[in-house]
């Protein structure tokens, strides 16, 4: 079953090459006592640490920008706060609230005791992925995953009693993932998830593993949504091999209108009228594509490229100056010219061939722009929807840290 996808990436941006640090103390909110061995990390990065016996911590070698800092400890509620890294950062005093270590939502809606047997495959396919590398991305603690299916709404919700731990042997990462949302809607065939991952480099057993991981990371990054957002922010779509086109949704009324219009044009041409040849190429292309739609198809992708200035704007005075705004109405198709559809994806999607470039349709929540940042993250992820290659490929198995830098050409 094919699902549309909402991908949520935390809003992190790098503004300069200068390095900074943040420091603070973690205490119990009830007793004010310092808390030892609390995990503190910046989401979607490789940057993390633990507090010492005095509750103190430091995160060093940071680049200036916006992050989401996650503070997590057993028997305490998770603490998540957006932070701006600059030269004036004051030490943080973080007060953690004690928790019964039981998911409140799970208590209210008791989870399925046989959830993994019923829903584990669906969860793995939609969260870890169905790509080749998903076979080498293993969830090490599946026992912490809890499932709740609502038969009335046909929605599957997934919870976790602690961080999910993945080992990705293809990309060379261990991922600690704080899952805050996973919902699969069988009515709309859509799903979304949100969470806060911390990446840790695996230790290579052989020297050649380092080279393999570097090659796999580069290949995974190319054509990804993060690659596209970075390219969009830098205004270098052409150089990086991306193309953006408008997608029009065609209903039955429009199909009939176009069919009648073409019929009139063909009749005039048969009588020697040159009306058909006076139609602009872009319009004629659209008419022909609509006329050739298969039964059940509703989308037509136009040939003309959409200029970047039509949907990317510089921030106004009320916005984060390190960001750019992306806004458009309707649907756009993103095509990446330097990668073909992989075999696994071709098996899942009919009417595609191995000669097709990877492409994805994207659309926004009506009337709401998203903000993009130079390292390829965007906010708010729940306002951007994908349908196509990215909805299939952008999963935990292909996830990489936002501080990853593409190497080579």
Count CA atoms within 13 Å of residue 260 on its CB side: 6
DSSP state of 35: -
Q: pTM of this prediction?
A: 0.82
User: What local confidence, expressed as pLDDT, does residue 9 receive?
Assistant: 42
Q: CA-CA distance, 325 to 305, in Å (whole number)?
A: 19
User: What local confidence, expressed as pLDDT, does residue 48 receive?
Assistant: 95
Q: CA-CA distance, 23 to 29, in Å (whole number)?
A: 18
Give per-residue pLDDT as tens, 300-326.
999 999 999 999 998 665 556 678 999
User: What local confidence, expressed as pLDDT, does residue 8 receive?
Assistant: 45
CA dihedral 261, 262, 264, 270 (to 10 degrees): 170
User: What local confidence, expressed as pLDDT, does residue 320 receive?
Assistant: 64
pLDDT at residue 405 is higher than 70: yes
Q: CA-CA distance, 395 to 393, in Å (whole number)?
A: 6
Say whether 44 sits in a helix, a strand or coil.
coil
Phi-psi region of 343 (alpha: psi -120 to 50; beta: other; left: phi over 0): alpha
User: What local confidence, expressed as pLDDT, does residue 337 receive?
Assistant: 97
Count CA atoms within 13 Å of residue 3 on its CB side: 25
Secondary structure element (H or E) that encloses residue 150, with its range: strand 145-150
Q: CA-CA distance, 398 to 134, in Å (whole number)?
A: 8
Average pLDDT, the chain: 87
Which of these, 353, 354, 375, 122, lies nearest to 225 by C-alpha position?
A: 375
Q: CA-CA distance, 276 to 284, in Å (whole number)?
A: 8
Handedness of CA 14, 217, 174, 99 (dihedral sign): positive
Average of per-residue pLDDT across 91-101: 86
pLDDT at residue 158 is higher than 50: yes
Q: CA-CA distance, 299 to 296, in Å (whole number)?
A: 10
Cis peptide before 380 (omega within 30 of 0): yes
Q: How confident is the model at residue 103 (pLDDT cuts 50, 70, 90)?
A: low
């Amino acid at each position: 079953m094919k699902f549309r996808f909402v991908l949520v990436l935390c809003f992190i941006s790098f503004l300069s090459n200068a390095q900074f640090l943040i420091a603070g103390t973690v205490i119990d909110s009830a007793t004010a006592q310092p808390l030892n061995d609390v995990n503190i990390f910046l989401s979607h990065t490789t940057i993390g640490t633990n507090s010492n016996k005095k509750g103190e911590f430091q995160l060093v070698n940071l680049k200036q920008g916006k992050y989401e800092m996650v503070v997590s400890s057993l028997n305490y509620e998770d603490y998540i706060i957006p932070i701006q890294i600059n030269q004036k950062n004051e030490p943080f005093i973080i007060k953690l609230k004690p928790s019964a270590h039981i998911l409140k939502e799970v208590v209210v809606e008791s989870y399925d005791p046989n959830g993994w047997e019923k829903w584990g495959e669906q969860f793995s396919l939609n969260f870890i992925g169905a790509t080749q590398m998903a076979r080498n991305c293993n969830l090490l603690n599946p026992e912490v995953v809890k499932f709740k299916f609502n038969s009335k709404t046909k929605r599957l919700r997934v919870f976790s009693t602690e961080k999910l731990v993945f080992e990705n042997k293809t990309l060379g990462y261990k991922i600690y993932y704080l899952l805050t949302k996973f919902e699969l809607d069988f009515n709309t065939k859509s799903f979304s998830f949100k969470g806060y991952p911390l990446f840790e480099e695996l230790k290579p057993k052989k020297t050649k593993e380092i080279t393999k991981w570097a090659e796999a990371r580069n290949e995974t990054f190319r054509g990804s949504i993060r690659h596209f957002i970075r390219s969009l922010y830098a205004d270098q779509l052409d150089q990086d091999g991306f193309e953006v086109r408008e997608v029009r949704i065609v209903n039955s009324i429009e199909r009939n209108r176009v069919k009648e219009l073409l019929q009139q044009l063909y009749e005039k041409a048969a009588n020697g009228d040159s009306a058909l040849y006076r139609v602009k190429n872009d319009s004629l292309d659209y008419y022909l594509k609509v006329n050739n739609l298969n039964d059940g198809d509703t989308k037509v992708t136009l040939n003309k490229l959409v200029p970047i200035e039509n949907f990317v704007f510089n921030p106004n005075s009320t916005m984060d100056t390190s960001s750019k705004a992306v806004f458009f109405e309707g649907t756009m198709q993103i095509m990446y010219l330097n990668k073909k559809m992989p075999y696994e994806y071709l098996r899942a999607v009919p009417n595609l061939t191995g000669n097709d470039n990877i492409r994805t349709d994207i659309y926004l929540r009506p009337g709401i722009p998203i903000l993009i940042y130079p390292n390829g993250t965007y906010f708010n992820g729940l306002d951007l929807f994908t349908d196509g290659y990215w909805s299939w490929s952008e999963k935990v198995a292909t996830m990489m840290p936002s501080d990853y830098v593409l190497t080579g050409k």
